[in-house]
């Protein structure tokens, strides 16, 4: 039987207590008792103490007899109600013991009554008043320092955050939706930073709870992943066009073999494609050419007189052309010219693509 089944219990099985899980066990154990016959009486016995044993009523005229201890009634003469009461006391203690593993029960088994046993368990699990304050301080610190772990998935971060929120509530701390949502958005993985900024600007974070916020992020997670890939492709193409390797002084002093190896590693952009594209451009019917910028026919994007529009289609088109170019496919003349005339930095590409999600 799995630990989860043993821990949770059922109406037919007593939940078992594990270290560090007393709050959950306390609630489950009380629920279990409530489902039993005479459950309320057993809960009263545990929380308020056993019902006293039956005694014999004595009538004496002697004054000193008033201070004499009462005489317990012989169990053989107990009434049915008195027998039932004592049975409830014993059953309450028995059920409590069955819910405790040996390592915990051995710390408190010297207590004779079920109430004493219950109180000792409470002190052992929760600690003193000072210990409780330390626990509350630790939970509050965990909330204040909450942050996504490097490489952690959005779902895992969300589940950890829910646990922190639940612990805060159990300790009596109250946080409104705005504070909880801001805390979550500000401490996600770095790539979510700009999307979080957009969320704060377009959503009223006081009107939605943390679950609704997560669902919004989850719905956009696939689009966000695609945009990251587009950004990576564009950034790679931009860097490939802008930079190339240059031989250093050390390269020049190496052997002829080393020089040959260095030359193979250099990247120098050639004009072979431009020659092919110029020849192709002369043969093309300009009436069928469509401008990427204004979407009208008759001219190339590089010849367009209108201001450049950098929308989602702009970056999508650039990504497709960049992929073709990186695969060493020959681009059309207007495609190559448009690519070279629109160089965006990595930061600009990333920012625009995220905010257009």
- What tokens were used for 261? 């190896």
pLDDT for residue 138: 86
239 vs 118: CA distance, rounded Å = 69
User: Which pTM does this prediction carry?
Assistant: 0.44
| Beta-carbon contacts of residue 244 (< 8 Å; ≥ 6 apart) | 266, 267, 268, 269
- What tokens were used for 227? 């945009």
| C-alpha separations of 276 from 13, 262, 283, 337 in Å | 81, 28, 11, 13
pLDDT beneath 50, residues of the chain:
244-246, 251-252, 255-269, 346-347, 351, 353-357
Q: Given phi > 0 = left and psi -120 to 50 = alpha, else beta, which region is 20? A: left
Q: Using alpha carbons only, how large is the chain's radius of gyration in Å?
A: 38
Greatest distance between any 2 Cα atoms in the chain: 133
Q: Is the sign of the CA dihedral 42, 48, 53, 56 positive or negative?
A: negative
What DSSP assignment string belongs to 54-122? Answer: PEE------GGGGGSPPEEPPGGG--HHHHHHHHHHHHHHHHHHHTS-HHHHTTTTT--SHHHHHHHHH
pLDDT for residue 264: 45
pLDDT for residue 255: 47
Beta strands 71-72 and 55-56: pairing type?
antiparallel
27 vs 15: CA distance, rounded Å = 10
pLDDT for residue 221: 75
pLDDT for residue 267: 46
Comparing C-alpha atoms, which of 211, 210, 214, 218 is closest to residue 181? 210
- Sequence-ordered alpha helix ranges (H) in 107-176: 114-126, 129-144, 154-170
């Amino acid at each position: 039987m799995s630990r989860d089944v043993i821990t949770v219990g059922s109406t037919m099985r007593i939940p078992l207590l594990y270290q560090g899980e007393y709050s959950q066990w306390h609630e489950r154990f009380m629920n279990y008792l409530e489902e039993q016959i005479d459950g309320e009486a057993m809960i009263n016995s545990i929380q308020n103490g056993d019902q006293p044993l039956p005694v014999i009523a004595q009538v004496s005229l002697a004054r000193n007899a008033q201070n004499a201890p009462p005489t317990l009634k012989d169990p053989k003469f107990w009434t049915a109600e008195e027998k039932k009461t004592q049975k409830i006391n014993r059953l309450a203690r028995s059920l409590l013991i069955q819910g405790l593993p040996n390592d915990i029960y051995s710390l408190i088994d010297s207590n004779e009554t079920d109430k004493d046993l219950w109180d000792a368990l409470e002190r052992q699990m929760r600690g003193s008043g000072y210990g409780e304050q330390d626990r509350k301080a630790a939970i509050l610190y965990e909330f204040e320092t909450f942050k996504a772990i490097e490489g952690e998935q959005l779902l895992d971060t969300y589940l950890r955050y829910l646990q922190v929120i639940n612990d805060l509530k159990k300790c009596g701390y109250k946080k409104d939706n705005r504070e909880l949502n801001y805390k979550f958005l500000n401490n996600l993985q770095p790539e979510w930073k700009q999307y979080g900024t957009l969320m704060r600007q377009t959503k009223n974070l006081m009107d939605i709870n943390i679950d609704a916020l997560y669902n919004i992020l989850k719905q956009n997670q696939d689009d966000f992943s695609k945009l990251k890939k587009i950004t990576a492709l564009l950034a790679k193409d931009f860097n490939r066009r802008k930079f190339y390797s240059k031989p250093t002084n050390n390269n020049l002093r190496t052997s002829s073999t080393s020089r040959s190896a260095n030359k193979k590693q250099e990247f120098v952009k050639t004009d072979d494609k431009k020659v092919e594209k110029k020849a192709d451009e002369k043969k093309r019917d300009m009436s069928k050419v469509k401008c990427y910028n204004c979407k009208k026919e008759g001219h190339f994007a590089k010849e367009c007189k209108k201001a450049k529009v950098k929308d989602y289609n702009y970056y999508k088109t650039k990504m497709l052309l960049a992929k073709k170019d990186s695969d060493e496919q020959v681009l059309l003349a207007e495609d190559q010219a448009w690519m070279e005339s629109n160089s965006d930095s990595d930061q600009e590409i990333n920012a625009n693509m995220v905010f257009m999600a």
